[in-house]
Amino acid sequence: MSYTPEQYVAMSEKLQVVRDEIGSFIVGQEEAIDYTMFAVLADGHALLEGLPGLGKTMLIRTISEVLDLSFSRIQFTPDLMPTDITGTSVIERSADGNQRFSFQKGPIFSQMVLADEINRATPKTQSALLEAMGEKTVTVLGDTKKMAKPFFVLATQNPIEMEGTYPLPEAQMDRFLCKILVPTPSKIELMEIMKRTTGSISIELKKIMNDTEIVELQEMVKEVMIADDMLSYAVDLVVATHPDSPDTIDEVKQFIEYGSGPRGLQSIVKLAKARALINGRYHVSIADIKTVAKPALRHRLMLNYEGEAAGLQVDDVLNTLLEKMKQGQVV
């Protein structure tokens, strides 16, 4: 199905209403809101990282309310078991006295799933999300069940340096379309947060969209055009994240252990298309690619020992790469 430019403009205007409604409750965090919306439109999962108490959970809950999606929250703890997420089969006695197995769905069977503090659970429990995130199915005792549509996992995590955290496996990190860093509020934002949260005034959120419209928006995102030169730039960017590539910069060769794979490129393209749609365009620009590159790649690159010893972050290397990389070449 093809869409007209007028339809893209109309959807862009409605998405701005969604953005304004979220902003009426969430103070600041414009970048986190934008990237989370990009992930929703691109039909992908997002990982939000930040210190405790910055409103990551409230941001996700607010988005689910404004988009009118079914919502469930899973609080990840060290004693959480995989069946606590996926559900389990239990024996039930029917009216005629016979016994049978009945599947009791877990909280994963919602349209928007908040995996709160995901890196506080053990790797075994974290891996319970892999099939749901990758295939959008859950298999229990050989029986495969499909997830709701649309389906998103929006996970929060504390920085891995904090007490009681387990690093996410690389395979699971790669399932996230983007990793969003949630910053500490500014002084002005802190003042506004206090006014909204410690007073007697309560804000009633409006439901601006629904699941049917979200699915249609996801189809519209797929139809957004990306020219060959834009795609080539995105490919060159991903190739340049590999330290063994002849077309990369010295900082990547010196500080990066390994770079991004094909999923990183897919994430850049999907997020760039979503950003274009939100801005009322049906074609991807170079600014779209540059804007989404860090969230799409920061969790797919690993620093080597020298990079960690130097106290660098992956974003530092990506910033340098984006500065030195022109369209089609590294300078």
Q: What is the mean pLDDT of residues 204-208?
A: 84
pLDDT of 328 over the 60 cut? no
Cβ of 103: how many Cβ atoms within 10 Å?
15
Q: What is the mean pLDDT of residues 66-74?
A: 89
Q: Is 226 strand, coil or helix?
A: coil
For 124, the token pair is 């075994």
Q: What are the pLDDT digits (tens) for 146-196?
A: 888 888 888 888 776 555 667 777 777 888 999 998 888 888 878 887 877
DSSP assignment string, 23-83:
HTTS-S-HHHHHHHHHHHHTT-EEEEE--TTSSHHHHHHHHHHHTT--EEEEE--TT--HH
| pLDDT recorded at residue 7 | 81
Cβ of 246: how many Cβ atoms within 10 Å?
9
Q: What are the pLDDT digits (tens) for 5-51?
A: 788 888 888 889 988 888 888 777 888 888 999 999 999 999 988 87
> Which among 74, 110, 105, 72 has a CA at the least distance from the CA of 89?
105
| pLDDT recorded at residue 161 | 55
| pLDDT recorded at residue 55 | 75
Q: What is the mean pLDDT of residues 212-228?
A: 90
pLDDT of 3 over the 90 cut? no
| HEC readout, 276-317 | HHHCCCCECCHHHHHHHHHHHHCCCCEECHHHHHCCCCHHHH
Contact 178, 292 (CB under 8 A): yes
pLDDT of 52 over the 80 cut? no
| pLDDT recorded at residue 147 | 84
How open is the CA angle 260-265-263, to the nearest 5 degrees? 65
pLDDT of 331 over the 90 cut? no
Share of the chain above pLDDT 90, in %: 21
Neighbouring C-alpha atoms within 13 Å toward the C-beta of 10: 9
pLDDT of 58 over the 70 cut? yes
| pLDDT recorded at residue 205 | 81
Q: Is the pTM of this model over 0.75?
A: yes
| pLDDT recorded at residue 241 | 92
Query: Over the chain, what is the mean pLDDT?
Result: 84
Structural domains of the chain ordered from first start: 13-79+110-199 (3.40.50.300), 224-331 (1.10.8.80)
List all residues 6 or more positions away from 154 whose beta carbon is below 8 Å from its beta carbon.
Answer: 36, 39, 45, 46, 48, 60, 63, 112, 113, 114, 115
Q: How confident is the model at residue 293 (pLDDT cuts 50, 70, 90)?
A: very high
Residue bearing the bigger pLDDT, 135 or 103: 135
> Before 185, cis peptide (omega within 30)?
no
| pLDDT recorded at residue 163 | 58
What are residue 47's phi and psi, to 5 degrees?
Answer: -115, 120
Q: Which residue has the tokens 């500080």?
A: 255
Contact 121, 85 (CB under 8 A): no
For 176, the token pair is 């996230």
| pLDDT recorded at residue 234 | 93
Q: What are the pLDDT digits (tens) for 236-282?
A: 999 999 989 888 888 989 898 888 889 999 999 999 999 999 988 88
| pLDDT recorded at residue 284 | 93
The amino acid sitting at 62 is T
Rounded to whole angstroms, the Cα distance separating 41 from 273 reads 9
Rounded to whole angstroms, the Cα distance separating 96 from 47 reads 48
pLDDT of 329 over the 70 cut? no
Residue bearing the bigger pLDDT, 55 or 33: 33
Q: How confident is the model at residue 307 (pLDDT cuts 50, 70, 90)?
A: confident
DSSP assignment string, 118-166:
GGGS-HHHHGGGHHHHHHSEEEETTEEEEPPSS-EEEEEE--TTSTT--
> Which among 276, 312, 272 has a CA at the least distance from the CA of 294?
272
> Which among 238, 195, 230 has a CA at the least distance from the CA of 327?
230
